[in-house]
Amino acid sequence: MNRTASYFVTGHPLGHSMSPFIHARLFALGGRQAEYAVRDIAPDALADELPRRMAEADGVNVTIPHKQAVIPLLDRLEGRAALYRSVNTIRIDADGRVG
């Protein structure tokens, strides 16, 4: 049996986010069994809450105001995230948490 992949977007505030609707449709079109949620995390709670949330996820989309604040919570940066010191996505797998 295939496991349902779990993803979320984080930022603050996120009441306006269309990401769950968009990703649900993309997953359906691609035949992927996945869920996508909104995790509104206030900046002062990021260091405590994001690692706990990432432990239960396969990936994260990052938006304002967390694009740089997430960096110390990751194992490493790659590509443009490393170049610009700004993270849009976090891949979570056996290699760790990669921006």
Residues labelled as active-site residues: 67
Residues 75 and 41: their CA atoms lie apart, in Å, by 20
Residue corresponding to tokens 């797998």: 93
User: Residues of 23-51 as b/e, b for ≥16 C-beta within 10 angstroms?
Assistant: beeebeeeeeebebeebebeeeebeeebe
